[in-house]
């Protein structure tokens, strides 16, 4: 199974790229984690946010590989603990499809992306900085994988 993380935003600080890359490289080849960055629309004082979100949404949906399970990261999604995430990951694998995790920009995800999702996942009730979400999701997925595979990374 391949997991695509499709995130709005490019030109991340070095610490974000380093943190994400650290977890990305730990995944085994049979569960590769791929990052696809969608350029964020230009936001100025008089920006048409609704239009920007629509364009970001179109680009995000176009980046999803055909047939993938779509999971959106949203504050209003379902909060999962590590064991629940690990169980979800097992279900994803048994489903036989790859997974696309969608992470929005400053205003979140476009309504089209939310409508297309099969599952909504919340990391926290807090609004987290979107660059940091990449690292948290990558680490959480790796921890879930390690739990499912009896890898020593996750200890109880």
- Whether 123 has a binding-site annotation, put simply, is yes
Please give the span between the terminal C-alpha atoms of the chain, in angstroms, as a whole number: 26
Cα atoms in the Cβ-side hemisphere of radius 13 Å centred on 140: 23
Phi, psi (rounded to 5 degrees) for 5: -105, 115
Q: Rounded to an integer, what is the distance from CA 14 to the centroid of its chain? A: 19
- Whether 124 has a binding-site annotation, put simply, is yes
pLDDT in tens, the chain (156 residues): 999 999 999 999 999 999 999 999 999 999 999 999 999 999 888 889 999 999 999 999 999 999 999 999 998 999 999 999 999 999 999 999 999 999 999 889 999 999 999 999 999 998 888 899 999 999 999 999 999 999 888 665
- Whether 128 has a binding-site annotation, put simply, is yes
- Whether 126 has a binding-site annotation, put simply, is yes
> CA 64, CA 106: separation in Å to the nearest integer?
20
> CA 55, CA 110: separation in Å to the nearest integer?
8
C-beta of residue 57 within 8 angstroms of C-beta of residue 109: yes
- Whether 132 has a binding-site annotation, put simply, is no
- Whether 127 has a binding-site annotation, put simply, is yes
């Amino acid at each position: 199974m391949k997991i695509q993380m499709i995130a709005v935003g490019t030109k991340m600080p070095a610490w974000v790229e380093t943190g994400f890359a650290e977890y990305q490289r730990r995944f085994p080849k049979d569960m590769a984690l791929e990052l696809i960055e969608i350029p964020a629309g230009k936001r100025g004082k008089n920006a048409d946010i609704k239009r920007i979100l629509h364009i970001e949404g179109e680009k995000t949906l176009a980046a999803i590989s055909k047939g993938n399970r779509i999971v959106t990261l949203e504050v209003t999604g379902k909060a999962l603990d590590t064991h629940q995430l690990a169980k979800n990951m097992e279900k994803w694998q048994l489903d036989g499809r790859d997974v696309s995790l969608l992470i929005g920009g400053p205003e979140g995800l476009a309504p089209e992306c939310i409508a297309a999702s099969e599952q909504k996942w919340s990391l926290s009730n807090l609004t987290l900085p979107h660059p940091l979400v990449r690292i948290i999701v990558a680490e959480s997925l790796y921890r879930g994988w390690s739990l499912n595979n009896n890898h020593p990374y996750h200890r109880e």
